[in-house]
């Protein structure tokens, strides 16, 4: 058991930080959201979101189940249509950003194609550029970044949960996105794998300077990773907390714990009786 754990942490640490040399794009997209509203039938999920996310910023969105945080992410990715309001990326409107590979998402589940090898799954992330001559090289380089290059010819089936999510991360990174959205991607991982994945994500983000938006249930995770933590409650932004602690941040350090406590108190303040999230 102990041996297994040590190996797993090593896996994530060994990766070569040559980020910034793979591919051409890079840099972050800013996001501007104005009066964004969303109804599902009679149910208003988002009640007017106004938000500006700077280029290269790491924003974490927390909130209880059903507060609308995942909906916000799905709207930005074009998976849902806004009922009212608007948003744009960068200076103008990168309308179909997902199709150019500039905006990518990592889902809660790995969502790998079980019938494609690990490498082919990463190549999916290249989108239309999959047929370009350097596609394989780029996919391999990205797989090396997440420390799974030796698994390139395996089926996803034989990977562990954490390895699957690392392949999913490679798939999201391979097109060198300018905005990367995370929809609770670490929710189903065990605590240790989770911490090594957080470190990996932070390192890649520092290397590639994309804008990151992470929806999470875990306030500690939000405080450890983000420049800014947003709390959404009843479809509105209830808290916008800047986190200015130096990186890498120590989990459980007094500063992190203080901020975590403050956000948690805020979360429960308007909640009344505490519900299970």
Partner 1 sequence: MIDMRTNFVLAMSARSRTLAQWALPVGIIAAWEALSLAGVIPLRILPAPTAVVAAGWKLTMSGALPRNMWVSFWRAIVGFAIGGGIGFALGLANGLSRRSDLIFDSTLQMIRNIPHLALIPLVILWFGIDEGAKVFLVALGVFFPIYINTQHGIRTVDPQLVEMGRTYGMSPATLFWRVILPGALPSIFVGLRYALGIMWLTLIVAETISASSGIGYMAMQAREFLLVDVVVLSILIYALLGKVADSTARLLERWCLAWHPAFQPAGEVKT
Distance from C-alpha of 195 to C-alpha of 186, rounded to nearest angstrom:
9
Find, among 127, 120, 180, 131, the residue nearest to 154 by Cα: 120
Exactly one of 109, 227, 234, 236 binds partner 1 (CB under 8 A); that residue is 109
Angle at which helices 2-13 and 191-208 pack, to 10 degrees?
10
Closer to partner 1 by Cβ: residue 115 or 268 = 115
Closer to partner 1 by Cβ: residue 80 or 255 = 80
What's the closest the beta carbon of residue 110 comes to partner 1, in angstroms?
9
Closer to partner 1 by Cβ: residue 166 or 171 = 171
Residue 18: φ, ψ to 5°: -95, 20
What's the closest the beta carbon of residue 132 comes to partner 1, in angstroms?
14
Binding part of the chain for partner 1, among 19-27, 121-129, 184-192, 238-246 by CB under 8 A, reads 121-129
Residues near 10 by beta carbon (within 8 Å), at least 6 away in sequence: none
Residues facing 241 on adjacent strands: 229
Binding part of the chain for partner 1, among 61-69, 80-88, 101-109, 238-246 by CB under 8 A, reads 101-109
Exactly one of 79, 95, 258, 277 binds partner 1 (CB under 8 A); that residue is 79
157 is an interface residue for partner 1 by CB under 8 A: yes
Residue 218 region by backbone torsions, left for phi larger than 0, else alpha for psi between -120 and 50, else beta? beta
136 is an interface residue for partner 1 by CB under 8 A: no
170 is an interface residue for partner 1 by CB under 8 A: no
Binding part of the chain for partner 1, among 4-12, 113-121, 141-149, 200-208 by CB under 8 A, reads 113-121
Binding part of the chain for partner 1, among 124-132, 140-148, 241-249, 250-258 by CB under 8 A, reads 124-132
Residues near 270 by beta carbon (within 8 Å), at least 6 away in sequence: 233, 238
C-alpha distances in Å from residue 218, one per residue of 163, 200, 260 = 21, 17, 10
Closer to partner 1 by Cβ: residue 131 or 270 = 131
Count of residues of this chain found to bind partner 1 when the rule CB under 8 A is applied: 27
Contact 84, 93 (CB under 8 A): no
104 is an interface residue for partner 1 by CB under 8 A: yes
44 is an interface residue for partner 1 by CB under 8 A: no
What's the closest the beta carbon of residue 108 comes to partner 1, in angstroms?
9
188 is an interface residue for partner 1 by CB under 8 A: no
Q: Where do contacts with partner 1 occur on this chain (CB under 8 A)?
A: 77-79, 98-101, 104-105, 107, 109, 111, 113-116, 124-125, 127-128, 155, 157-161, 171
């Amino acid at each position: 058991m102990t041996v297994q754990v040590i190996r797993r942490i090593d896996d994530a640490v060994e990766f070569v930080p040559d980020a910034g040399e793979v591919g051409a794009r890079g840099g972050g997209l800013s996001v501007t959201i104005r009066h964004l509203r969303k109804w599902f039938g009679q149910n208003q999920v988002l009640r007017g979101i106004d938000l500006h996310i700077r280029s290269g910023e790491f924003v974490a969105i927390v909130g209880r189940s059903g507060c609308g945080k995942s909906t916000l992410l799905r709207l930005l990715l074009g998976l849902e249509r806004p009922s009212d309001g608007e948003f744009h990326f960068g200076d103008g409107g990168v309308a179909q950003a997902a199709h150019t590979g500039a905006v990518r998402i990592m889902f809660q589940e790995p969502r790998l194609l079980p019938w494609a090898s690990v490498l082919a799954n990463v190549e999916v992330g290249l989108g239309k550029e999959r047929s370009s001559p350097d596609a394989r090289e780029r996919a391999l380089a990205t797989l090396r970044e997440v420390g799974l290059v030796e698994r390139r010819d395996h089926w996803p089936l034989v990977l562990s949960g954490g390895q699957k999510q690392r392949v999913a991360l490679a798939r999201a990174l391979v097109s060198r996105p300018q905005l990367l959205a995370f929809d609770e991607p670490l929710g189903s991982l065990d605590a240790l794998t989770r911490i090594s994945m957080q470190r990996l994500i932070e390192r890649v983000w520092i290397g590639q300077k994309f804008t990151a938006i992470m929806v999470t249930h875990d306030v500690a995770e939000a405080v450890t990773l983000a420049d800014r933590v947003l709390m959404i409650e009843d479809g509105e932004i209830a808290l916008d907390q800047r986190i200015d602690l130096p990186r890498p941040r120590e989990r459980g350090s007094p500063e992190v714990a203080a901020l975590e406590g403050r956000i948690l108190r805020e979360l429960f303040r308007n909640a009344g009786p505490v519900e299970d999230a």
